[in-house]
Amino acid sequence: MTDGLEQLYYRALVAVVRDTEHGKTVRTVLERQLGVSRKLLSQVKLTEHGLTVNEVRAYTTAPVAAGDIIRVRMEREVSEDILPQPIPIQIVFEDEDLLIINKPAGMIVHPTHGHYTGTLANGVVHHWQEKGERVRFRPVHRLDEETSGLVAIAKTSYVHQQLSEQMQANGFLKLYRAYVYGSPVPDKGTVDAPIDRNPDQPHIRIVTPEGYPSITHYETLSSFGSSYGKPAAAAVRLKLETGRTHQIRVHMKHIGCPLIGDKMYGPEEGSDEDWENTAGRQALHAEILGFTHPLTKQWMEWQASLPPELELLEQKLSER
C-alpha cells in the first residue's frame, strides 16, 4: 500500500480464503474468520480501497476462490467534536489498536452537556494529535466521574465492535476495589438484583423487580475496626457480570454496605469517624482489566495501583 493510502487507512484486516470457503461470498468469509460486522462492511465498501480481493475492489456479495486474499481497510477518522486539550493522562498501554488509561477520580470520560472540556476524551485526543495520529475517541466502557482506574479505548470501529462483543459474552475481566461501610455477610458472594432508574429521581438507580438483570460478585479482602461489635469498614473486591449504570454502588448499598464517600448512595447519616472523608470521593477503583486482543488474539491484563487518596484511606482504616 502506498504512503498516501497508509495515511488514509488503518492497517488492513486480512482473510485468506480456505479450501472449505471456496465459492462463498466475501461477507461470509469475513464474518466467519474475523467476525466483521455487517455495519462495518457497509461502511468500508463505500471507499475505493476499503474492501478488496487480491487488491481489486470487491463487493460483499462477490464469490471468492480458495487462496484469495481479502483485505478490509478502515478510513482513519478524528473526533471533530472533541476539543484537544493538554490534560495529563496516565497511559498504561498503547499500540496501533488500543489505548489503556488509568483515569483519575474527578474526571469525566466523555464530554457531556455542560462538560465539554476537561474530560478524558479531551486529553486523549490531544495526545493523538501530538503523535500525529488520526484516531476517533471510542471508549469501550466508562467509569463514573468519581471512580478511578482502568479504561479501554478502541482505535478503530472493528476493535470497538470486537471488545464490545467480548463484554457482552462475559469475556471481559473487570475487577474493582471498593471500601465500604460495615462488612458484607457472607464474606464472599453474589448480588443478583435487577436495577433501573428511580421513577421519582431518574438520575438515581435503584434495585427493583422490574429492573434490568444485574449481577455483581464480591469478595471481602479485609475488615477494619469495630462498631457495636461489627466491622466498621471493609475492603472489597468486586467483579461485574453485567454493566449497569452505578451497578456496584447500588448493589453494595442494597446489601447494607454502601461505599465510603459516596454522596449519592452512601448512608443517610455519616459515622463521624476520622477516616470518613479521607478519600474525598467515592472509594471505588477499577483495579484490574483483561481481555483478548482483537488482532493478536492474545490474552492481555493490566493492573492499576491504588491512587494516593485510597492508599491513605486504607492506612487510616488499618490503624483502627
Tell me the catalytic residues.
Answer: 144
Cell of 202: 431518574
The terminus-to-terminus CA distance of the chain in angstroms comes to 64
Helix, strand, or coil here: 311? helix
Cα–Cα distance for residue pair 123/113, rounded to 1 Å: 18
Cα–Cα distance for residue pair 307/250, rounded to 1 Å: 23
Cell of 157: 470501529
Question: 245 with 202: CB under 8 angstroms?
Answer: no
Name the strands in the sheet holding 13-16, side by side, starting at the edge strand that comes first in the sequence: 13-16, 69-72, 51-53, 56-57
Angle value at C-alpha 128, between 3 and 120, nearest 5 degrees:
155
Question: 304 with 287: CB under 8 angstroms?
Answer: yes
Region at 170 (left for phi over 0; alpha for psi -120 to 50; beta for the rest): left
Cell of 77: 477518522
Cα–Cα distance for residue pair 243/4, rounded to 1 Å: 41
Evaluated on CA atoms 89, 94, 97, 101, the torsion sign reads negative
